[in-house]
Structure 1
């Protein structure tokens, strides 16, 4: 990174895009440690969890033929729109027109979240259900407990992508894309999942 920062070396890649912030005001620049953290987040969020999510999606879809059939119908509609088009592969626009695919991914991740818990630092004192939570405490968030809470997700052990047809309301819900959205690789992972689940 030192050679790149000095202008002795440059590549058209993710690291270079972060180093390009060196021209910004000091508070907007990224340190070497921040760049390394972002690279690690890209690998974890974008690749390491993808394999687990795809494996579980295959299992859940095979066990739930109605969901699999609805998923395939969605893909066929996208495919039919491409008849006679020069672009035959999935595009970003196609991916954003696959609401059921997104629900299958959300439900797969709800039931088999590869990241089972996470921690957050408390930034200021606050009260929650009669308890005082102090600044600088570390909170552990149990994603599995939330994902299988029947008050939030009725019949939580049933694979049901259609549960995401309706808003779950303002309950304290921690599903995959609500807590990990800031990770750089999440968009890449979702796209990989959607492309895979809609492949022949």
Structure 2
């Protein structure tokens, strides 16, 4: 009873507080829509729609009622949602002094307030430049062999003496180990496993409401973040010492890139900033990659025509190697996997791993004839243009060939699996290489089928096969 009373009083206070806070906005020309309940907004109904894979319909219902610009309240903040190519361009092309890349409170707290999505101006350019120096194509060429060997080892280990595996869990483990080893040079198995467990808890806290109450998902996520920080700090200390002794170079991994970074005053960036960007890059390189790989396995299991074309392309790479030579994949061979990548592109069009993202209005601004008050969130979503029949012919059909010499070019700000504008995902090439190497090893070494052929997709908030994608798997007979 005491807990119920506390919640009731909190909601009543929040109701009157929200009335007070939004009083000044009543004179503004806000778009149509509803801010929902105090504190909760419309977050619960949106989350429920996402779980049922009805996120697009949730937005479409509001667009049909209020138009392509509407207001709501998501993840604890009043939000203006913009849709369509013009809306995407407005958000993704805006200057930082108009719309900042400040994320919802939960993501900002879990990832840290100095992560790259929260930075602006010179600090953003500084950190992005350091990360890009490690992720640029000429550097990625040098990690192909290492990544191929690592993926091969993980797949053989995870399938050893097993005839059934959970596809989603396996892909999450694989992508986390790749990110930890290749991006951050963390190779200790115990440390990697402990970090993986805590990141799993941290990820679950991001789409929740920011109530730091013992026992809640958000509370557990914050505690997981603290444990991760305590594990990373000694690693940073060790890397700093190795750099000073000349045992490591600034390009050894992302940690060393950031540790050797200097601002305009030649001061090193703080450990807090390094750790916050470690969080962000792990989130970006691990969870979204695991999603796409899981969806690829799911799609190839269900569509024999697509599967056979992918298999033929990958086997052709092996057939064209010099007889007896198996030194692993090369950069040139990865560039031959054109059809496999088109399948991934089409999957990301129909089921975008990132549904959309938030910005925050730094000052009062306008869009589409409406006011957007300072401090409000602005949200864009990929679905609005990915499934637009005026942009993609027969958008509900799965057709990888639409990315092969399309009859009409895809307009800017309409196909956005990696975002767009200044804040396009910096790890998109890394993700592409990781996916192609993993699929190559899967289809050339294994055969598999779904345990539940009718398994649906759900969002939590990322899109995953709803049952974890259990698959029956066995070595391929060559």
TM-score range, shorter chain: 0.7 to 0.9
Give the deviation of 1:116 after TM superposition.
Answer: 0.9
Give the deviation of 1:4 after TM superposition.
Answer: 4.1
Q: What's the counterpart of residue 93 of structure 1?
A: 332
Q: How does 1:80-159 map to 2 (within 5 A)?
A: 80-84=319-323, 86-121=325-360, 138-159=377-398
Q: What's the counterpart of residue 53 of structure 1?
A: 292
Query: Retained in 1: the 8 A contact 2:359–2:377?
Result: yes
2:429 is aligned with 1:187: yes
Q: What's the counterpart of residue 409 of structure 2?
A: 168
Deviations 1:54-78 (CA, angstroms, capped at 9, x unpaired): 1211222233322222222221222
Count of matched residue positions in the alignment of Structure 1 and Structure 2: 198
TM-score for both structures, normalised by structure 2: 0.36
Q: Could you list the runs of 5+ residues in structure 2 that have no partner in the other structure? A: 1-232, 445-478
Two-structure CA RMSD over aligned residues (Å): 3.4
Mark the structure with the bigger radius of gyration: 2
2:258 is aligned with 1:18: yes
Query: Retained in 1: the 8 A contact 2:349–2:415?
Result: no
CA distance in 2, matches of 1:93, 1:38: 31
CA distance in 2, matches of 1:106, 1:28: 41
Query: Retained in 2: the 8 A contact 1:101–1:194?
Result: yes
Between 1 and 2, higher relative CO (CA 8 Å, sep ≥ 6) is seen in 1
Deviations 1:110-166 (CA, angstroms, capped at 9, x unpaired): 222221111235689998666687898643111122222222222222221111111
Give the deviation of 1:103 after TM superposition.
Answer: 0.9
CA distance in 2, matches of 1:164, 1:13: 33
SS at match of 1:21: coil
CA distance in 1, matches of 2:417, 2:261: 29
Structure 1 stretch displaced more, 156-165 or 133-142: 133-142
Q: Could you list the runs of 5+ residues in structure 1 that have no partner in the other structure? A: none
Deviations 1:64-101 (CA, angstroms, capped at 9, x unpaired): 32222222222122212223364442222221222212
Distance 1:27 1:115, change over 3 A: farther
